[in-house]
Amino acid sequence: MTLQEFLQNFANGISLGSLYALIAIGYTMVYGILRLINFAHGEMIMVAAYIAFYTVFIFSMPWYISFFIAIIITTIVGILVERLAYKPLRSSPRVTILISAIGVSFFLQNLGIVLFTGRPKAFQVPTLFSQVYTIKGVNIVSLTFFIPTITVVLLILLVYVINNTKIGMAMRAVAKDYDTSSLMGIDVNKIISVTFGIGSALAAIGGIMWSMKFPQLTPTMGLMPGLKCFIAAVLGGIGNITGAVVGGFILGLTEILLVAFLPDLSGYRDAFAFILLILILLVKPTGILGEKIAEKV
């Protein structure tokens, strides 16, 4: 493999990885607070993508407005899902809430099929994002620069909010100890809604960028990316936001490089992500950046 080929693959890997990273943040935040794998997180990608598509398609809005609306609506949907499907089950066994999450995921997918039909829709990518540059023989679309940049910027913003603001402190408190936080007067419901809101907003941004990178919308488009982003979050240490980003990049890069070095195994690409998950769970279940949590009896 020549250096140029490697660089090309590397660029692709970073691009894919940063998308995974952005969406993984949402997973990890929700898990940190509620210890819940929000299966429906992947569907937020789909929701945002379709809203962005339809606002442009039907209302012919300029892209920056349509993206903004998509993010807002997806955030609301995320909060709604939490209120309707997860909140009533907070005192139920974990299995129940997991099943509810799976149910929401399937519900949204099938609703998508009914509303949007299974036929893929072509996403219009604004020209700002679709310029192709050639650097030293490596071809990169402008989008490839935007995605990691936006991811890192959002990450920095988020870390700042979590560490330096009052609401961030409240979020950390609830993540650390749910019951004590509510005893201390923190409005736990509000914090949870905020968490879901932020997570869904990030997923929405990720979803819009995803559809710009892969401009084809189907109702089931969020399922596999959702699962992979969860794997990325676990890889980096679930509950740890920086870990989610690290995990995302690692997953994206290894996925691309696997096929690059072993093209015969290209059909196993998805399976590879799961194998990676199982390996990390067996070797270091807390993830790369995770801390050991002693389980209280």
Residues 246-275 contacting another protein, CB under 8 A: 255-260, 263-264, 266-271, 273-275
Contacts of 263 (CB under 8 A, 6+ apart): none
The least CB distance from residue 260 to another protein, in Å, is 5
In the list 3, 64, 80, 88, the residue contacting another protein (rule: CB under 8 A) is 88
Residues 114-153 contacting another protein, CB under 8 A: 114, 117-122, 132, 134, 139, 141
CA 9/CA 26 separation, integer angstroms: 27
Residues 90-109 contacting another protein, CB under 8 A: 92-96, 98-100, 102-104, 106-107
Is 3 near another protein (CB under 8 A)? Answer: no
| For another protein, the closer CB: 80 or 153 | 80
Is 12 near another protein (CB under 8 A)? Answer: yes
The least CB distance from residue 122 to another protein, in Å, is 4
Please count the residues of this chain forming the interface with another protein, following the rule CB under 8 A: 79
The least CB distance from residue 20 to another protein, in Å, is 10
Residues 271-290 contacting another protein, CB under 8 A: 271, 273-275, 277-278, 281-282, 285
| For another protein, the closer CB: 183 or 278 | 278
Residues 14-33 contacting another protein, CB under 8 A: 16, 31
Q: Which of 27, 40, 139 is nearest to 82 (CA)?
A: 40
Residues 203-242 contacting another protein, CB under 8 A: 210, 214-216, 218, 220-221, 223-225, 227, 230-231, 234
In the list 69, 85, 159, 167, the residue contacting another protein (rule: CB under 8 A) is 85
Is 189 near another protein (CB under 8 A)? Answer: no
Residues 154-183 contacting another protein, CB under 8 A: none
CA 231/CA 251 separation, integer angstroms: 8
| For another protein, the closer CB: 141 or 188 | 141
